[in-house]
Amino acid sequence: MLLKSPPPLSLLTLERETHGGPISSSASTCNALKNSCGLSALRSTSRRNTGGRFAIRASKEANSWAIMDVMFDPFEEVKKELLLVPTMPQASLARQKFSNQSEAAINEQINVEYNVSYVYHAMYAYFDRDNVALKGLAKFFKESSIEERQHAEQFMEYQNKRGGKVKLQSMLMPVSDFEHIEKGDALYAMELTLSLEKLTNEKLLNLHTVATQNNDVQLVDFVESEFLVEQVEAIKKISEYVAQLRRVGKGHGVWDFDQMLLNNA
């Protein structure tokens, strides 16, 4: 492999902005920069006193300056943050740029996920009854219930990660029976599932809006990367199940559909 040194800079000047002339460490720093950047010429000089900060300037021409300035002084700039570190034991140490609105919206979403999980659990119990015995649907709703519960836990972990407090809220008692004279139980339950997935999507988008309004880029990223794509895929899958159940009617076709779910990996 042929390695070429980068050509762009012919001159770099490193200033140690202290009063009284060049400092001895400038040359070694310059050499280090020269080695790492492939610069062809380096020189050091002194300039005005700006509190001991370094200014690095590089250019193509010997007499042209200021492409890049490095003026970061961590010990100076961290002072402001240091004053904000909480001393009360009840206060989170990790919390940073995390609004009360975002915290409340996450708790609301935890409740949504738990409620949906609870309804799916009720559906699992219904389809697992001895006089219903649609084992594929029972398996599907049990797995769906666990998945929604996992979503709730993901939001709980994130809440703690950001320094918020998880506050669990009440859940509504779901219905226990899913018979429907016209649609049959399988189609009725699946249509209900589709509505719940769309409702969950709406709630996720509300959470995304709260995060955006509060300039919480990290919460926006979390919702987008962990939930929004998956939610759209879930809505597509359940829509297909509803369409298939509408085709097969309430009789033997439901048995075949149930077997398909049962044998799904």
Q: Per CB under 5 A, does 203 bind Fe ion?
A: no
Residues 6+ apart with CB under 8 A from 231: 197, 200, 201, 204
Instruction: For Fe ion, give the closer residue by CB, 148 or 185.
Output: 148
Instruction: For Fe ion, give the closer residue by CB, 151 or 162.
Output: 151
CB of 200 to Fe ion, least distance (A): 5
CB of 163 to Fe ion, least distance (A): 23
Question: Do 147 and 193 contact (CB within 8 A), yes or no?
Answer: no
Instruction: For Fe ion, give the closer residue by CB, 16 or 151.
Output: 151
- 93 token code pair: 């140490």
Measure the CA–CA gap between 183 and 31, rounded to whole angstroms: 80
Q: Per CB under 5 A, does 16 bind Fe ion?
A: no
Measure the CA–CA gap between 67 and 238, rounded to whole angstroms: 56
Question: Burial level of 19, CB count in 10 A (0-12/13-18/19+)?
Answer: exposed
- 157 token code pair: 């972990």
Instruction: For Fe ion, give the closer residue by CB, 151 or 208.
Output: 151
Residues 6+ apart with CB under 8 A from 117: 145, 146, 147, 148, 149, 151, 152
Looking at 84-92, 103-111, 149-157, 175-183, which segment touches Fe ion (CB under 5 A)? 149-157
Residues 62-121 interacting with Fe ion (rule: CB under 5 A): 113
Question: Considering CB under 5 A, how many residues would be counted as binding Fe ion?
Answer: 3
Ligand-binding annotation for 224, yes or no, is no
Q: Per CB under 5 A, does 151 bind Fe ion?
A: yes
Residues near Fe ion (CB under 5 A) are 113, 148, 151
Would you list which residues are annotated within the binding site for Fe cation?
113, 148, 151, 197, 231
